[in-house]
Chains A and B, each alone.
Chain A
């Protein structure tokens, strides 16, 4: 394929990602897309801090079950040179480019060797660094890979968009019409404490009628049938804290 063919295929895939509204469907689509480059295994994951467990950070994966349990049981994430490099760079890289000292880091030797036992002798990683400093990555593994100067930029973009799509499916942002004004949130927060419109009016120095209007608008924006329902939706979407 020419560079433009790689590009067109990648961009078409990215633009079609929105059609997958469930994580397993999106992962199947990603597996097919990455499969065209020879990758057999995918993991989409946050990188654990020292006090976090790796298994809590994984957003989605297509890994052999046996490999995942070995990886978590042995705590390979603590010694994996790929994870270390993923934190340090914004550029995508091949697993073989993640440096380690075989003399001083037997754990790193072991994780790379065992991965190969599960048909992951080679791999490619797209690091993700978010605005608030969160660290994540999409890691792809396989044996016979189409990994070259033309395919890598395509994998780079598919990885980044794949990550974003999976993340959003797992943590949907409330619908924009659910956006409440600070006053509406305040009124709803008091309603969640069992206050009546009259009491809320007294607390906020507004009339009972104004308080009722704020509650009604908030309920309408949230698509609630009544005040109690509005409070429940607002709590569920963390618009107010119970």
Chain B
């Protein structure tokens, strides 16, 4: 199962989150050579790993096999702060119903296509459940045909650009029951997301972030 971990239930997962920062360091820094993310303590943590981040982590007996991160666009995001030029045409979304999807990773042992699909299904399933309408993300452009393959509706926010020698683009993905159905059909599973602990209201939290930002600028 893919666990939803957020501020409301992270006390149940402290060990898992720790482990996940180390796995991210292994994958993004050691393997994919994103040197900007290197940390002396071997934990890949950035500004967006804060109380408003939501993690979707695939666990096998509390061992992290893969995952991704969601972050409200009512706060400054990686797209708006680090890669705004990728959204030069349509602009960076800022909306409680639009969340940034980042740090998608799969551990080396699970790099079969089906596991990827489970993580994609998890994002759609979680967002549908929470009433989130769109995800925005920065991705390598060669992923686009893969999303197309599973019926995700992907809209570019700007043109691709070379980043660390890879063509990279910003896009938004629509959250749709139909898209979830196609992936579920492909992986032959119904529900992939599991949520333990107190109930989370992601959109309400995003609204709160928006209000806080307004107060700061007022």
Interface residues of A (CB under 8 A from B): 3-4, 6-8, 10-11, 14-15, 90-92, 128-132, 153-154, 156-157, 160, 163-164, 167, 173, 176, 179
Chain A CB within 8 A of B159 CB: yes
Check B161–A153 contact: CB distance below 8 A: yes
Report the separation of the CA atoms of residues A45 and B155 in the bound assembly, to the nearest whole angstrom: 23
Contact of B160 among A130, A153, A167, A173 (CB under 8 A): A153
Check A11–B113 contact: CB distance below 8 A: no
Contact of B89 among A11, A132, A156, A163 (CB under 8 A): A11
Check A153–B159 contact: CB distance below 8 A: yes
**Within 8 Å CB of A132, what residues of B?**
113, 149
**Within 8 Å CB of A90, what residues of B?**
140-142, 167
Report the separation of the CA atoms of residues A62 and B22 in the bound assembly, to the nearest whole angstrom: 51
Given the known inter-chain contacts A129-B142, A130-B145, A179-B181, please indicate yes or no for A8 contacting B89, CB distance below 8 A: yes
Report the separation of the CA atoms of residues A176 and B116 in the bound assembly, to the nearest whole angstrom: 22
Q: B137-164, CB under 8 A of A: which get 1 and which 0?
A: 0001110111011110001101111000
The number of residue pairs between A and B whose CB atoms lie closer than 8 Å in the complex comes to 70
Count of interface residues, chain B, beta-carbon cutoff 8 Å: 29
Report the separation of the CA atoms of residues A92 and B160 in the bound assembly, to the nearest whole angstrom: 11
Check A156–B182 contact: CB distance below 8 A: no
Nearest CB of chain A from residue B87's CB, rounded to whole Å = 10
Check B88–A11 contact: CB distance below 8 A: no
Given the known inter-chain contacts A156-B160, A176-B178, please indicate yes or no for A130 contacting B89, CB distance below 8 A: no
Check B159–A7 contact: CB distance below 8 A: yes
Check A129–B159 contact: CB distance below 8 A: no
**Within 8 Å CB of B159, what residues of A?**
3, 6-7, 10-11, 153-154, 156-157
Nearest CB of chain A from residue B54's CB, rounded to whole Å = 25
**Shortest beta-carbon contacts, A-B, top 8:** A90-B142, A153-B159, A7-B89, A164-B148, A176-B178, A7-B159, A131-B149, A153-B160
Check B88–A173 contact: CB distance below 8 A: no
**Within 8 Å CB of B90, what residues of A?**
11
Chain A CB within 8 A of B169 CB: yes
Nearest CB of chain A from residue B146's CB, rounded to whole Å = 5
Check B88–A131 contact: CB distance below 8 A: no
Given the known inter-chain contacts A3-B159, A7-B89, A90-B142, please indicate yes or no for A173 contacting B151, CB distance below 8 A: yes
Report the separation of the CA atoms of residues A130 and B113 in the bound assembly, to the nearest whole angstrom: 11
**Within 8 Å CB of A128, what residues of B?**
145
Listed A/B pairs (29) with beta-carbon separation below 8 Å: A4-B89, A7-B88, A7-B158, A8-B89, A11-B158, A14-B156, A90-B140, A90-B167, A91-B142, A91-B167, A92-B167, A129-B142, A130-B145, A130-B146, A132-B113, A132-B149, A153-B161, A153-B167, A156-B141, A156-B159, A157-B141, A157-B156, A157-B159, A160-B141, A160-B145, A164-B144, A164-B145, A173-B151, A176-B178
**Within 8 Å CB of A164, what residues of B?**
144-145, 148
Question: Residue on B with the closest CB to A167?
Answer: B148
Given the known inter-chain contacts A130-B145, A157-B169, A160-B145, please indicate yes or no for A179 contacting B156, CB distance below 8 A: no
Nearest CB of chain A from residue B115's CB, rounded to whole Å = 12
Instruction: Give B165-203 interface residues, CB cut-off 8 Å to A.
Output: 167, 169, 177-178, 181-182, 185
